[in-house]
Amino acid sequence: MEFSGRVIAILPVRTGVSRTTGNEWKVQSYVVENHDQYPRRMCFEVFGADKIDLFNIQMGEELNVSFDIDARQWQDKWFNTIRAWKVDRVQAETQDTQQPVVPEPVPPFAPEPAPFTASSDSATDDLPF
């Protein structure tokens, strides 16, 4: 799954030690907001010091986040985890350097035809009334 938006929050790093292996672990969470008419936010986490350093996510960056969702149970309650496995930066130059839409120039007005003048000569007038 993917979500695109701007980083609006970087939460503190959480660390700990695995009970089963005794290895240290590190997780950092980020909040991204999309640009829809009604903006949505997603809080995702990056697991592992190597990935946190590799992604190097900064405040205000535009990102495309590829993620997996998983659920776990704890004391008869269920919790979702949204874990990023790939983070791509949106090229800022494509947003900033887009040329504004310039309307086509309006062609000059055509000269108006000469006004109609009624002639008194009925022989040249071929209208039946």
33-43 pLDDT per residue, tens = 999 999 999 99
- pTM for the structure as a whole: 0.68
Q: Over 80: is that where the pLDDT of 129 sits?
A: no
The CATH fold of domain 2-92: OB fold (Dihydrolipoamide Acetyltransferase, E2P) (2.40.50)
Q: Over 70: is that where the pLDDT of 122 sits?
A: no
Q: Over 60: is that where the pLDDT of 119 sits?
A: no
What percentage of the chain reaches a pLDDT higher than 90? Answer: 65
Q: What is the pLDDT of residue 91?
A: 81
Token pair listed for 46: 């990056």
